[in-house]
Amino acid sequence: MSIILQSPSFKNGEMIPSKHAYDKENISPAIYWSNIPSATKSIALICEDPDAPVGNWVHWVIFNIPPTKKGLDENIPKVEKLPDGSIQGRNDYGKIGYGGPCPPSGTHRYFFKVYALDTMLNLQPGCLKSDLVRAMKGHILDEGEFYGNYRR
């Protein structure tokens, strides 16, 4: 079974509200999940835009989310470590935490991917998506994704 993802801000495949855009309020959308395997030790989330001119543009990297959490509330602070122990990496804007959509032209897709892991990851705050992907290798119990569209 796959992890089921949803957001109260937008449905899968629909438009992301402008308050989540980089050049607007730049607040992260609430993302909720279900169907997490019982053996999960931590959860990771990556948000990226595969339609960016430079290839995949990373908008959010967050990991070591406690497996008891059912999601992330709207407007997660842009800090390295959250009170619950979750750690945020660096996005392709060069900043910690969430960086919203800001496509140069046209409509882009923004994929939110959640991974249930069988371990806590030994990575530093501010790490890159590539570091997270490498560390998750061999530890993914299950995953799920959904996406939204955005046009400026």
Q: What is the 3-state secondary structure (H, E, C) of the chain?
A: CCCEEECCCCCCCCECCHHHCCCCCCCCCCEEEECCCCCCCEEEEEEEECCCCCCCEEEEEEEEECCCCCEECCCCCCCCECCCCCEECECCCCCECCCCCCCCCCEEEEEEEEEEECCCCCCCCCCCHHHHHHHHCCCEEEEEEEEEEEEC
In this prediction, residue 31 carries a pLDDT of 98
Is 1 a residue whose pLDDT tops 80?
Answer: no
Q: Phi then psi for 132, rounded to 5 degrees? A: -65, -45
pLDDT (mean) for 134-141: 98
How many domains does the structure of the chain reveal? 1
Domain of 91?
4-151
Is residue 26 within 8 Å of 59, Cβ to Cβ?
no
pTM for the full predicted model: 0.97
Environment class of 44 (CB within 10 Å of its CB; exposed 0-12, middle 13-18, buried 19+): buried
In this prediction, residue 129 carries a pLDDT of 98
Domain of residue 126, CATH code: 3.90.280.10
- pLDDT digits over 53-100, tens only? 999 999 999 999 999 999 999 999 999 999 999 999 999 999 999 999
